[in-house]
Chains A and B, each alone.
Chain A
Amino acid sequence: MAAYVLACHGVRVLMLEAGRDYDPVSETPMFQLPREAPLRGAATDDKPFGFYDATVDGGWRVPGEPYTSADGVNFMWWRSRMLGGRTNHWGRISLRMGPYDFKPYSRDGHGFDWPMTYKDMAPWYDKTEAFVGVYGSNEGLENTPDSSPGILQPPPAPRAYELLTQKACKGLDIPTVPAHLAILTERQDADRLSKFLWPNNPLAQRVTRESMQDRAACYWATPCGRGCSIKANFQSPTVCLPPALATGNLTIVTNAMVREVMIDRKGRATGVHYIDKETRTDQEARADVVILAASACESARILLNSKSSLFMDGLANNSGLVGKYLMDTVGAGVSGQIPALENLPRHPEEGASALHMYMPWWLYDQELDFARGYHIEFGGGQRMPGFGAFSGIEPLTEGAYGQKFKEECRRYYGSFMYFDGRGEMIPNEDCYCEIDPDVVDEWGIPVLKFHWKWSDHEIHQARHMHQTFAEIFEAMGGRVLSNVETDGARAILAPGQIIHEVGCTRMGDDPSHSVVNQYCQSWDVPNLFVMDGGPFVSNADKNPTLSIMAIAWRSSEYLVEQLRHRSFR
């Protein structure tokens, strides 16, 4: 996102990508069937989200690039090594942080406040949503902001199981509303939006308009996690990079693994050292300004590895907070079966692949045994049978085989559902990453070691999720097939597993208590920025990607202003 905004402003940008070049147009398996893939597309150690997942050389393990954890810690770190990184396979769920989310400490005394308010951020959310294309609706709900008129794409029609869920949840006072996802439900109004985004900038208008005109609307088939060759969903290589390259101001170097930020005697960043993976040689790239956007943990790793006599504890780390207050999202889920959905007439239910509806947090006014809240993501329907089709339905069929089993499969097809909670974690001092002094990766770069401890807030919240989902199943007349845990520690998924890791280079108003300012600019090294999830101060239940992009846009505009004033010379 930063590269797009800066290039549109005429700034010459060099982008270093640790992975290989990747072209979603030619590489996305749009209609390939499970039966065409090894193991019917099942998840393996090589492809942990399934064969067709748009992750290259990555997953929980990247070949040749280990990470370590403290004893008893099972932090899971998802990485990919491809142009566009994790934007290629993400869930596309794009929820704005709300007014409460920017001032959580002021509201309940836990964690920390952000230096800016929701009001400061609202215009940048508008810009980001208009640019990437986000479907959804404005419901006027508490701490669930509306977008400005003309920004959102229309939400898709709800599916049968979503309407049935909405009805049941109404009885439980849980609001079920259109979800917000970065998927085009109609073609973007390229003329209007490009002028809205870039008034008085003909170059930016042209590249943005042409890029938008090159994107198609969703044609309601194939899973988004494979990527999208028609550019209907948001992924960086189809949405951010084409217009940025079209300005002529962006150069991309792939297979460039950055290991260290270089500085001069005055403590200003002068560029980076990177390993050219193809020749396995160290290279230098010089620049007036360095922006790290390698993901929260990877950017922290680069800073901590950038040691010098001026910065003994790593670069931009005078506060001692680089790597600290690492957060993920609280995740827990329950799955089951809904008899009302059995034997339904067949009809297309793939839709936009993921959520058409969701439940924003609804208990803001209740005293609970945990702070903050969670939203609910849920799924089901008559999907394309893949690996695991009708596996493990023994409890329903009591071991049926033969003709009976065949008929039971037909009966149960499309009647399975799951509910997943995605909740806010309070940042704490026990969750951080640091450099492991004993281990380097195959590029000779010291690796990260993770430390983690949930607080009771997260544990209790996970228990609450399980209870709620069991109640929803009951209200729908359904049967829970997974475990409903009364101990939240057994319900909560592993740290890192939701792949929402943020923090490590948090922003703030005070240089002694933050790594960067509200524009993602290092307090210690003014021409160094961090524009990924690292500057997050808290991790609201809102999936972080949209906020990362909106903050990066705002910070890039600030950076352009600084460049105009020649602040870095």
Chain B
Amino acid sequence: MNRDEMRLPHPAEKAEHFSEKSGVEINTSKLKRGVTRRRALKVLAAGAAGAAALQSTGCIDESETAPNTGAFGETTGRKPRAAGTSTDPNLITPVVPWDLVLTKEELETLAALCDVIIPGDARSPSASTVDAHGFIDEWVSAPYEGNQNDLVIVRGGLVWLGVESTNRFGRRFVEIGPNEKAEICDDICYEPNAAPEFKVAARFFDKVRDLTSTAFWTTDEGMADLGFVGNRPMPSFEGPPPEVLRLLRLI
């Protein structure tokens, strides 16, 4: 058998698991409003160093965490010391065994971005209301290689977002209004259409959108929003109701 026989991943999910090779590579050329490449490099490097310092307070040994490739390396060079789930975890009452690494400020910015991606409406709350940013923290804190690569993408992107917001509007991303946030996000929301200087930020945005999406739609609120009606025992399986068959022109 294979993975598809067991459950139904979204087509993109396969890519999620099998091609996690991209390290951070924030393209800083031609940043708007006169930010030089040199300055942007400096900002991002500081972010990466901050990340290392932070992790030393977690369960990753400090001596292992010095970034050896600077801000633009292909990988972080970290050797995660934290434990994963193990190959034989308790499946009935699961626990997340690793410490979370994002800072309070990073989480605030992330929460704001999650809500730009999935805002609240009449049917369901916003992404941050159901702790989507908390899930992203869990994701990027995990010790697996793909997750560690995502940590760099997310952290680097959050720094970029702060710099971009400050340069454009003189305030941090969490402080600007909806129209200002949209002005930035419109530039990075779709890589194929993004200007060359926004391509890498667009990849960051896509990563956060994917993770926010997973986080939101897997909550009780998200599943209710979609109208998912399964995962409960039923005495029989009747197939699709007549209304569905009519809409599909099968009757």
Contact = CB atoms under 8 A, between A and B. Distances in A.
Interface of A: 20, 26-29, 31-40, 42-47, 49-53, 56-59, 63, 89-93, 156-160, 163-164, 167, 218-226, 331, 333, 335-336, 340-341, 344-355, 377, 379-394, 398-403, 405-406, 409-410, 413, 416, 418, 420, 481-482, 493, 497-500, 543
Contacts of B7: 50, 223, 225, 353, 383, 386
A465 B216 CA distance: 35
A345 B10 contact: no
A413 B216 CA distance: 14
B16 A382 contact: no
B244 interface: yes
Contacts of B209: 401, 405
A20 B87 CA distance: 12
B118 A405 contact: yes
A235 B105 CA distance: 49
A340 B6 contact: no
Contacts of A40: 135, 214-215, 218
Contacts of B206: 394, 399
Interface residues of B, number: 84
Contact of B248 (A29, A160, A394, A405): A160
A388 B9 contact: yes
Contacts, number: 289
B240 A159 contact: yes
Given A353-B6, A382-B230, 17 more contacts: A38-B85, A38-B142, A45-B145, A51-B89, A163-B248, A221-B230, A225-B6, A384-B230, A385-B228, A388-B214, A390-B213, A390-B217, A402-B182, A406-B121, A409-B217, A497-B2, A499-B1
A56 B87 contact: yes
B189 A46 contact: no
Contact of B236 (A44, A220, A413): A220
Name the residue among B11, B13, B219 with the largest chain A CB count within 10 angstroms.
B11
A222 B237 contact: no
Nearest to B251: A163
Interface stretch (B34-42, B45-53, B91-99): B91-99
11 contacts: A46-B85, A46-B144, A47-B89, A58-B87, A221-B230, A221-B232, A377-B5, A379-B8, A399-B202, A401-B189, A413-B227
Contact of B8 (A39, A90, A158, A380): A380
Name the residue among B4, B121, B142, B190 with the largest chain A CB count within 10 angstroms.
B4
Nearest to A164: B248
Contacts of B139: 39
Identify the 5 closest CB pairs spanning chains A and B, nearest first.
A399-B190, A392-B12, A388-B13, A225-B6, A91-B5
Contacts of A50: 6-7
Name the residue among A37, A164, A220, A389 with the largest chain B CB count within 10 angstroms.
A389
Given A44-B142, A398-B193, A220 B233 contact: yes
Contacts of A46: 84-87, 89, 144
Interface string B9-31: 11111011100000000000000
A146 B185 CA distance: 59
A387 to B, nearest CB: 5
Contacts of A37: 94
Contacts of A56: 87-88
B189 A400 contact: yes
B109 to A, nearest CB: 16
Contacts of B4: 333, 377, 379, 418, 420
B6 A388 contact: no
A388 B10 contact: yes
Nearest to B206: A394
Interface string B150-193: 00000000000000000000000000000000100100011101
Nearest to B243: A345
A92 B5 CA distance: 9
A163 B250 contact: yes
A387 B218 CA distance: 8
Given A46-B86, A385-B218, A398 B11 contact: no
Interface of B: 1-13, 15-17, 84-89, 91-92, 94-97, 116-119, 121, 124, 135, 138-139, 142, 144-145, 147, 182, 185, 189-191, 193, 202, 205-206, 209-210, 213-215, 217-220, 222-223, 225-241, 243-245, 247-248, 250
B157 to A, nearest CB: 14
A403 B213 CA distance: 13
B243 A403 contact: no
Nearest to B126: A406
A38 B85 CA distance: 8
B230 A387 contact: no
Contacts of B226: 346, 382, 385, 409-410, 413
Contact of B85 (A47, A224, A482, A493): A47
Nearest to A37: B94
B237 A59 contact: no
B217 A167 contact: no
Given A29-B92, A44-B142, A401-B116, A347 B11 contact: no
Contacts of B250: 160, 163-164, 167
Contacts of A410: 225-226
B1 A498 contact: yes
B135 A221 contact: no
Contacts of B227: 346, 382, 413
B240 A160 contact: yes
B6 A224 contact: yes
Contacts of A380: 8
A399 B186 CA distance: 9
Contacts of B230: 221, 348-350, 382-384
B116 A386 contact: no
A33 B219 CA distance: 9
A481 B228 contact: no
Given A46-B86, A225-B6, A387 B92 contact: no
A96 B245 CA distance: 32
Contacts of A345: 241, 243-244, 247
B116 to A, nearest CB: 6
A40 B138 CA distance: 10
Contacts of A167: 250
A336 B11 contact: yes
A91 to B, nearest CB: 3
Contact of B229 (A348, A355, A402, A405): A348
Contact of B213 (A63, A382, A389): A389
A49 B18 CA distance: 12
Contacts of B237: 156-157, 218, 220, 348, 351-352
